Amino acid sequence: MKKFKKIKNKVLIVDKNNTIDSVFREMALPSKTSIKLKGVAFITKEQKLLGIVTDGDIRRAYGSNINFNSKISEIMNKKYVYYSLEKEKLSNAYNLENLNYNFYPILDSKKNLVDILRREELILKDNYEVTVFGLGFVGLTLAASLSEIGFNVTGIDNNINVTNSINQNEPKIFEPGLKEILNQCLNKNLFISNKVFNKKSNVYIICVGTPISKDKSPDLKSILEVLSSLVSFLKKGDTIFLRSTLPTGTSRKIIAPYIEENTSLKIGKDIFLAFTPERTVEGNAINELSSLPQIVGGFSKNCTEKARSFWSNLSKAIIEVDGLEAAEMVKLINNTFRDVSFAFANEVALKCDEYNINSFDLISAANKGYPRNKISLPSPGVGGYCLTKDPVLFYQNNKNDFFSIAKAGRLINEKMINYPFKHIKRFTSSKKIKTKDLKVLFLGIAFKGIPETNDLRGSTAIDLYNKLISKVAKIDFYDFVIKESFKDFKRVEIDERIRNNYDCVFILNNHPSNKDVLKELLSFTNPVLVFDGWNLIDKKIATKNDNIVYSSLGYISE
């Protein structure tokens, strides 16, 4: 028998003599387990399963005016779907189309209830063998989530340090819930390697990185390396899902021809190809993989249908689009829109600087009670792997003769990293301090703080560090998620001993706890520039100390 996950006591098991009222009340109680009760109760006598009742059965009983003090056995269903431990299959009277409940009983030869089986495990049993290429933020969270719902998954990454850390359940990425899934699934139905060893897979998902080079062109090296390996063992009936972000048209013009030229297989006939973009947010990816709608667009109609069938096991909603190109573009326009909206906010901040206006206060005033447009808030540079790359992939190779808003927005956001230098210059000029003597502390160096992450790709703090380090005496950092120093960038602990060790403190991501750290430092006795790049602290509180020069986007107190 397949090794199903044990979830006893995570569903409601009651005695036949319990009243309808008591069972109903128990159903209504919040679950104290990791899986909430899903409106189904199993009625037993000792271990023998007598019947099943759902919350729908109880509603119907209420409608027929049944006495709720009656025994639950009076309204239970005596015919039910079950998994036979003896025969290792569903009861013969039913098939997968009849599976309308979330949990099903596993019975032995004497009809004793021995365990509870999730619906997903029945549906997925023996259907798919999945290989995921690339175990970064996108690939690892996906591989883990697919294994959690019952798929047999092989995760491949050519970086042996990455695979070793995962196999030790010490993944290099910070993602709530990930380590718990790895602990549950590793070496059971989730296997991690730096080489392909399971060539019997029938679903291949490509999640490797597609960075942009210095000339802003997409680097497809990693994805082509995966394909060169994959074509050697592709077989009829296999499905390939592209999840790596690509410029529009790449799947059909480059990837599909490569596969067909290097195999004897025809896409749409022998094998299936679809683009299914990842749109999760780092720090909440495990949840969003199932809660966000999944976009699917195939090489052909039957490829799209294959994608719908597969991803519906994970996502609550599937949205079909018109082919590969549309699916590729969805990811690009989602992130480009966000980048452009942030660019407008940053342009507002630069305009505010001309009049010494706090741009956060200004935008909040403009948004308050005004229903027609919620303006985004500014930041000292828009970072992250996706928002710094996807707009470039979107506006590249623009064949239409018009000015690109996406390109302009990216330029504004890249230039924002220079803004803190203005405040440094104003501060040193006011306090008669030499820039080369400044000791600087960065609070928050991951590219964002909400949801929290340890990802440094596209980090504003790293960009600012590289620009500033040759101009000042030293730069240290503190980050709530990143626990180790790297290169010459030293991590320090925050306590009273370092209170007067710095001339400048920069808040560079929006981790909520940054403001708590700064509160510990507000009793400076030497002149200090506090750059609040995310408007986390009240300037009135900060400026009570005459030694603090408070600055934000558009505003400086001196």
pLDDT confidence band for 196 (50 / 70 / 90): confident
**With bands split at pLDDT 50, 70 and 90, how would you rate the model's confidence at 4?**
very low
pLDDT at 7 over 70: no
Lowest mean pLDDT among 162-166, 357-361, 421-425, 542-546: 542-546
Average pLDDT (345-367) is 96
Q: Please state the domain count of the chain.
A: 3
Which 3 state secondary structure label does DSSP give 287?
helix
Most confident of 12-16, 123-127, 258-262: 258-262
Query: Are residues 184 and 109 both part of a single domain?
Result: no
The answer to whether residue 326 is domain-embedded is: no
Beta-carbon-side half-sphere exposure of residue 375 (alpha carbons within 13 Å): 22
Name the nearest CA neighbour of 205 among 296, 83, 329, 94: 296
Strand 83-84 relative to strand 152-156: parallel, antiparallel, unpaired?
unpaired
Closest CA to 281 of 382, 175, 205: 175
pLDDT confidence of residue 2? 40
Strand order in the sheet with 555-556: 490-491, 474-478, 439-443, 504-507, 528-532, 548-552, 555-556
d(CA 25, CA 13): 13
Q: What is the C-alpha separation between 277 and 204, in angstroms, rounded?
A: 14
**CATH number reported for the structural domain that contains residue 263 in this entry:** 3.40.50.720
Query: Is residue 489 pLDDT above 60, yes or no?
Result: yes
Q: What is the CATH number of the domain that holds 76?
A: 3.10.580.10
pLDDT at 412 over 80: yes
For residue 171, pLDDT beyond 50? yes
Same domain, 430 and 557: yes
What is the reported pLDDT for 99?
A: 57
Q: Please give the pLDDT value at position 97.
A: 47
- Residue of 199 and 275 predicted with greater confidence: 275
Mark whether 172 and 295 lie in a shared domain: yes
Dihedral sign from CA coordinates of 59, 65, 70, 71: negative
Confidence tier at 383 by pLDDT (50, 70, 90): confident
The verdict on residue 400 lying in a domain is yes
Domain span holding position 469: 335-558
38 and 159: one domain?
Answer: no
Say yes or no: 175 and 306 in one domain: yes
Mean per-residue pLDDT of the chain: 87
Confidence of residue 218 (pLDDT cuts 50, 70, 90): confident
Residue 308 located in a structural domain: yes
The reported pLDDT for the residue numbered 92 is 54
- Shared-domain flag, residues 304 and 365: no
* 111/191 same-domain check: no
Give the pLDDT score at 541. Answer: 84
The answer to whether residues 399 and 539 belong to one domain is yes
pLDDT band, very low/low/confident/very high, at 81 (cuts 50, 70, 90): confident
